[in-house]
A and B are shown apart, each in its own frame.
Chain A
């Protein structure tokens, strides 16, 4: 009588491990998916900023440069380029932290699959935020290289641009993922895009110095996360800005990322450990 090989009779040499940093296990989830979708994300990650750069540098830039000799003493394209990096970081971070997070709770239920294994809710948070950091860093490194190649970087501090991008990304990703973890549907997401992302894009001093805004709006802008990301990237790229202002920008973004991470840990746990 033919006997099929037993599936469970021989135990493999490898046993499930509970080694260091269990969140690494959940990270491979993001890597596997990115490998399948990175071609599509190239367009939004690189092409759009480059088109902006070309359009602003060649079109608006020429106008600005010929009228006022640039902005803050530098050619207009140099002024805009680092801001685009901050905006790209914001975009990647929000794309990663909204629909994919809700999907993992609601539709694909990947998070529920994961917490039935040794993976804990906090590992999922760590994996998600680490992945956002890696994703932003990958794009930011290439982006910085392109900017350098176009001679738009005027300071050696520009080598830290990818880190500024990562910090900006986490300042968005962590609070957003924490918020999404409390949501049952995606109804509020387009509202967030319309009333947060797009106004931030337009009013964070990306395309002109905020000194051009009415004074009350300048005060409001101080509380806008993207403004601090843009200002930090610009400081590093151009070598301008005071130490105090730079520390303030970093602290603002770090507090957002920190509080957001804490809320993520709490909200993921509440949702998954019921």
Chain B
């Protein structure tokens, strides 16, 4: 680079404090160009581009039917793309499916565990699909059950587990092959808050150990907690991409004031608060005021003699980004 000349390297950093774009330092594990998936007349994925780098945690955010799962199935080399270019671990899924899948871990939307078998047998059976020696699988399974906090249940039937435990077992199963890339399709959908936090915590640990994660979700908090970068999908297309914080900064304000005005409807109030906010969204049950200082805006609302039944100041989330981009909420 500088070939021994000292000093001037500093000048390269002028103008920006942002780190060097990661594309230059990390290999790309998944890259898609113009990726399309059609089922008959229906277009589930409508020409999307994305790039996922080694070691990052990448999210696909969107409501049900946005095309997330179809995208995941193509990336996991289960479902062949209808059109476009897709590379996973540098290879073409159309021609190298088994080779690629040998290095992937998949947590599908439905657990699909063998409910009649013990937890240990579930892991052993799955490991056999990768042609790993039984003794090695068992050794890994012991560690994985510990990791997912299921050690005490190792010999119980999978059927006896709670929903959150089944999810953790599915995650343990996906790790038996020590994958380079772990794909999680809605990892916490249907779990209670406590179970969700436990799953997040385990995923966070995997991430910190350098495992590349791909996560689909329609939960904002999940995406914000786990994803370094994400794309927002809607109706088969990518409508935004970036780091969660950047997306919020770009498409929303710092804070949001939520106002509930009881049964009279919110429509009449929109005009009376419109000038207090950068933007006002009217939802069936509340008004959202996009502002930089929520408390200040609330004081102004009160000063105008408006008396909402309840008011809440919160920071902006990806939910607000999605609402802004699509005009719809994520979970209907």
Contact = CB atoms under 8 A, between A and B. Distances in A.
A33 B128 CA distance: 14
B269 to A, nearest CB: 49
A22 B178 contact: no
B178 A11 contact: yes
B300 interface: no
Nearest to A119: B129
Interface stretch (A42-50, A67-75, A108-116, A162-170): A108-116
Interface stretch (A12-20, A77-85, A242-250): A12-20
B70 to A, nearest CB: 10
A120 B97 contact: yes
Interface in A234-274: 272-274
A120 B125 CA distance: 16
A110 B175 contact: no
Given A18-B99, A25-B130, A113-B126, A8 B206 contact: yes
Contact of B112 (A9, A113, A273): A113
A54 B103 CA distance: 56
Contacts of B116: 33, 36
B68 interface: no
Nearest to B132: A14
Interface in A153-202: none
B interface, how many residues as a size bin?
35 or more
Interface in A1-33: 4-9, 11-19, 22, 24-26, 28-29, 32-33
Interface in B175-190: 175, 177-178
Nearest to A114: B129
Interface in B128-180: 128-133, 136, 139-140, 143-144, 147, 175, 177-178
A110 B112 contact: yes
Interface in B103-138: 103-104, 106, 108, 110, 112, 114-117, 121, 124-126, 128-133, 136
Given A8-B206, A36-B116, 13 more contacts: A7-B175, A7-B206, A8-B178, A11-B178, A15-B178, A16-B177, A18-B131, A116-B78, A116-B106, A116-B108, A117-B102, A118-B102, A120-B97
Which 3 residue pairs are nearest across A and B when measured between Cβ atoms?
A117-B129, A109-B112, A16-B130
